[in-house]
A and B are shown apart, each in its own frame.
Chain A
Amino acid sequence: MSTEAFAQMAFWMLVGLTFAGAAIAVFPRNILHNVLGLALALAGVGGFYLYLGSFFIALMQLLIYVGAITIAIVFAIMLSRPLHLEIPKRAVPKVAMAAVASFIFFAAILGAVFRTQWAPAAERSTDWSVETLGHLLLTRYDLVFEVISLVLLVAIIGAIVTAGFTRRLSS
C-alpha cells in the first residue's frame, strides 16, 4: 500500500474516532462517559491539526485540552456528589426541538460553505515554523499575549474566590 493511501485511510479513521468521541460526549446520560468521549474527540481534533501541518498546535491541543481541561472537569465531577444517582428525565419534545434547531444550523453552515467561492490569497508565504510563531507572539501580537495572561490570572483568582466564598458562607 502506498504512503498516500495509508495517509488517506488514517485520516478517515481519525474522522471516525473524532465523531465517535463527540457522540459519546453528547448522548450518554452518565457524565463520566461524557468526559471520556470528550477526551477522545479532542485527541482526534489534535490529529486533524497534524494533517493541517502544525505539529506545535497538535501538541498544544493534547497538552491544554486533553491534559488540563478534561482533568479539571473530572476533578469537578469527583468533588460533587455521585452524579449518576440523579438523572433528570428528558422531555422528548425538548430533545426533538434541540435536534431540529441544531440540524437547521448545520444545514445553514453547509449552504454557506458550498455556495461561497473560496479563493486563496494572492501571495502566500510558506513559513510555518515555531520560530515565526514565537516571534510574532512577542512582536505583533504582544498586547494580545499579555491580555490573555491577565485573563488567565483573573480567571484563576476568580475561580478560587467563587469556589471558596460559598464554602465559608455555608459552613
Chain B
Amino acid sequence: MNSLGTYMVIAAALFSLGLLGVLQRRNLIGMLIAVELMLNGANINFMAFNRFLAPEPAVGQIITLFVMGLAAAEAAIGLSIILALFRRIHSINVERAQQLKG
C-alpha cells in the first residue's frame, strides 16, 4: 500500500471507469458524474507524486485544491446548462439535443 505504483494503478482505473461512463451514458447528469470521477483519478495522481517524488510536498496539495475549486465551478455551470437544456427539449438525453445538427 505504500508505493507509488499502487496509487497510480488505482488512479488509472478510476479514470478509465470515468471515461467509460462518459462514453456510454446518454444521460447528461450521468456524464457529469463520470467527469467528476475522472477529475478524482487525476487528483490521486497529483497527491501520489507529491507524496513519493516531489521536492516540495506542499505544491501537489495546492494543485489538488485548485482542481477541486475548478471542479466546483464546472459542476455549477454544467448543472445550470443541463437545467436550461431540460426546459427547452424536456429531456436530458444528449441524443435529443441536436437542433444545431442542420
A contact residues vs B (CB 8 Å cutoff): 7-8, 11-12, 15, 18-19, 22-23, 25-26, 31, 34-35, 38, 41-42, 45, 48-49, 51-54, 56-57, 60-61, 64-65, 68-69, 72-73, 75-77, 79-81, 83, 86, 88, 90, 94-95, 97-99, 101-103, 105-106, 109-110, 113-114, 118-128, 132-133, 136-137, 141, 144, 148, 151-152, 154-156, 158-160, 162-163, 165-167, 170
Query: Number of A-B pairs whose CB atoms are under 8 Å?
Result: 223
If the complex has contacts A94-B24, A113-B5, are A69 and B95 also in contact, measured as CB distance less than 8 A?
no
Q: CB distance B29 to A45 under 8 Å?
A: no
Establish whether residues B62 and A141, one from each chain, have CB atoms under 8 Å apart when the complex forms. Answer: yes
**Which residues of chain A are near B7, meaning CB under 8 Å?**
48, 52
Tell me the interface secondary structure of chain A in the complex. Answer: helix
Pairwise interchain contact B10-A64, C-beta atoms closer than 8 A:
no
Interface check B9, CB cutoff 8 A: yes
Whose C-beta in chain B lies nearest to the C-beta of A75? B79
**B16 nearest CB neighbor, chain A only:** A106
Whether the pair A25, B69 counts as a contact (CB closer than 8 A) is no
- Measured as residues with beta carbon below 8 angstroms from the partner, the interface class of chain B is 35 or more
Q: Is the CB of A101 within 8 A of B84?
A: no
Q: Are B24 and A98 in contact, CB atoms less than 8 angstroms apart? A: yes
Q: List 13 A-B contacts (CB under 8 A).
A: A18-B10, A64-B69, A64-B72, A86-B91, A90-B26, A98-B23, A128-B57, A128-B58, A136-B58, A148-B66, A148-B69, A158-B80, A166-B87
6 new A-B contacts at CB < 8 Å, known A26-B18, A42-B40? A45-B40, A48-B44, A114-B5, A120-B52, A122-B55, A165-B84
